[in-house]
Structure 1
């Protein structure tokens, strides 16, 4: 089987644009959650989020690109270019028809559509909207396929081009799909990842309606508390992570730095409830088991589990059960942590952002912590790496995701030499 290497990483996340800033935030245990600044959140139950301090012009986008692209698409282009630069290749030797793009997104151009609706409806006053006030490229906001098209245009990829939208597992599934295209020989190189910029009134209202987000508005810094007994909902976020994936032999032949190998990927759906989870974690456990089987790795070879860890009671209980079910006794020995405690939950993008954290944990031999975990929950009795990052040799990571609609995904990442 053709092996798939990660040779470039780009990250745009709360707390700082760029991979280095992202990793510095995680390893310091700092949080990037704060009161929402892009609109007045006062009418809402949850008024906090993890925002990206993003300046499109400073990031290198032209005024035309700023005008044409929604915020999430801007994230994707800037982040993809960072990943390509990090990979150390311009792809001149690759047939452009075998160079593809896969981008994941849960909610598409939510920010742009929300803003434009308020503009063309005069703040909701007009039932019959006036299209003359809309941005000329409004159609690009409507179709999420514009995200992958913009990235392809930026990097010169003319091969397979796909948008993956599986809710909060989109970031994992987009990278998994890209890896599969390389394994089967449909592409030699893929630029893959996910982006979302959902911090808008309509998104906040949606999660307020089901009380999924935390109302801890008076302490934004400590509001995201995965696996903590005092948790009461997740913190919304935004961001993007993109990777360069290529066949391992090709990467080695050109002398590329190989961060990791995408060794296994599996997804399942619980077919149970749009927002509910069974407490036994059976579907996530199945995804982990199948991904490990595809990678040829035993449960006791896993060095770190990068958790979904949203900070809701049902997710934390479900995920803890899934890790125990799939890893057996080794579940009590392996460190598990959630970076959502620091960068919030950026919906479709978070899976790719968590892949970046997993790869960097292998690269630097450091497991990022679960910030704000001060009051252990007896129902969650694994090693969640509370508060402080931990130095540890990491050769194999399982990164998991769980999404509304019942989506459950697991990805296995290993060092180029494989698991110990």
Structure 2
């Protein structure tokens, strides 16, 4: 192998998101500015401060999973499997096809899956069973599923995908809170770049809409209490915002070494030119207002691809809709892009699909890759009242046609995690 840096491209995308199903349904929804936030239906939310969420109308059996796959796997694994099936089919790769002449070498195929809270729903449901809805301190294991151990370890998701696609290369779960989805794709791209794999099935999935998760975020008042108008409850960067809307979902991308993709004539969405992550080591849930660590992650990610900040045409924001995050992120973009920040478009799709914790980073990367490929920027829905401390172009309410050669997707997570990934048009570089 030559000493040149191996280039990484996206050749497949699969999405399971609120309000839609599949990559094209997701794209149609977010570019139309439709919101998928509603009052929680999975359980009675009346006792909670925040009673709204962005739920996925998901049925694993109807989407191609077997009865046994549905039985043994938590919802987050099922969604990852469905998204991965779509991504691999989209790529045209024959993964997991034993004996096929054109099947890739399984030792050169890896998996990276991000998740923040893993099998929360399954664990909570199992506890209700073994404790008889909390009636017994000493739980009765006779009422536990024989697959309960799978729910305890988030690695079950990566294991299922590796088995599904015959991936004998690196298989990893990335769990860094709300940046898990970016970090998973970023780590997957580094595996390809470093020569540890030629193909990586990379993405993230989370299904956190459960009583325990809602209670956790109620306690710190991070979620919105705009319960009377769920459709407009998620308002990133708007002066009226008062917290995020919980969501769920999954997105998976097929990452491939450029020459490997060229040899088989694959269609390419975009190139991953850089990824970086930093921790502010400041506070478990708080953020410093200056955005220094996110700005450094953006700068490092741009530097890896030797991209000038003036080339950035679009930033897919973390844009959670909390006051401190939106201001912190705005400051980070100003600091990292300099004068170019005044010209860049930045939007938050969380305004439409909510905040699915670890999954959202991969869902946002999918949206960013499609924006680069199709020259359309998804809007920030519900943005109407500007906040003087949030002074960028947030693409309010209506999608915008705009050619984008370079886009950045950023994430911010509890624990101080700050991550950025850079996607570029495949036509930006011809060498």
CA apart distance, 1:155: 1.3
Superposed, which structure 2 residues align to 1:332-371 within 5 Å? 332-371=342-381
Deviations 1:280-322 (A, max 9, x none): 0000000000000001100000010000000000000000000
Q: Residues 1-40 of structure 1 correspond to what in structure 2 (within 5 A)?
A: 1-40=5-44
2:130 corresponds, among 98, 120, 123, to 120
What secondary structure does 1:394 align onto? coil
C-alpha distance in 2, partners of 1:93/1:57? 27
The separation in 2 between residues aligned to 1:109 and 1:325, in whole angstroms, is 38
- Map 1:162-241 → 2, pairs under 5 A: 162-241=172-251
Inter-partner Cα distance in structure 2 for 1:154 and 1:418: 34
Q: CA RMSD in A?
A: 0.9
Instruction: Kindly indicate whether residue 410 of structure 2 is the aligned counterpart of residue 406 of structure 1.
Output: no
- 1:136-180 CA-to-partner distances (Å, cap 9, x unmatched) read 100000000000000111111111000000100000000111111
Paired position in structure 2 for 1:307: 317
Structure 1 distance, partners of 2:118, 2:93, is: 29
* Number of the residue aligned with 1:321: 331
What is the distance in 2 between the residues matched to 1:417 and 1:184? 23
**Counterpart check, 1:72 vs 2:82:** no
Aligned equivalents of 1:21, 1:155: Cα separation in 2: 24
Q: What pairs with 1:55-134 in structure 2 (closer than 5 Å)?
A: 55-91=59-95, 92-134=102-144
Q: Tell me whether 1:278 sits opposite 2:288 in the alignment.
A: yes
SS in 2 for 1:358: helix
Aligned residues: 420
Q: Report if the CA contact (8 A) 1:81-1:154 is conserved.
A: no
| TM-aligned CA deviation for residue 247 of structure 1 | 0.3
Determine the structure 2 residue equivalent to 1:372: 382
User: Shift of residue 419 of structure 1?
Assistant: 6.7
Per the normalisation by structure 1, the TM-score is 0.99
**Aligned residue for 1:140?**
150
Deviation at 1:328, TM superposition (A): 0.5
With 92-101 and 195-204 compared, the bigger mean Cα shift is at 92-101
Aligned positions of 1:253-292 closer than 5 A: 253-292=263-302
Q: Deviating runs (4+, > 4 A) in structure 1?
A: none
- Going from structure 1 to structure 2, the CA distance change for 1:185 and 1:366 (only over 3 Å counts) comes to same
- Partners of 2:318 and 2:105 lie apart in 1 by 37
Given that 1:395 and 1:419 are in contact with CA atoms closer than 8 Å, whether structure 2 keeps it comes out as no
2:93/2:103 contact within 8 Å kept: no
Unaligned runs of 5+ in 2: 96-101
For 1:418 and 1:119, the matched residues in 2 are separated by: 55
More displaced stretch, 91-100 vs 388-397: 91-100
SS at match of 1:126: coil
- Structure 1 residue 417 displacement after superposition: 2.5
Instruction: Give the equivalent residue in structure 1 for 2:159.
Output: 149
Confirm or deny: 8 A CA contact 1:228 1:373 kept in the other structure.
Answer: yes
Segments of structure 1 that go 5 or more residues without pairing to the other structure are none
SS at match of 2:228: helix
TM-score of the two chains, using structure 2 as the length reference = 0.96
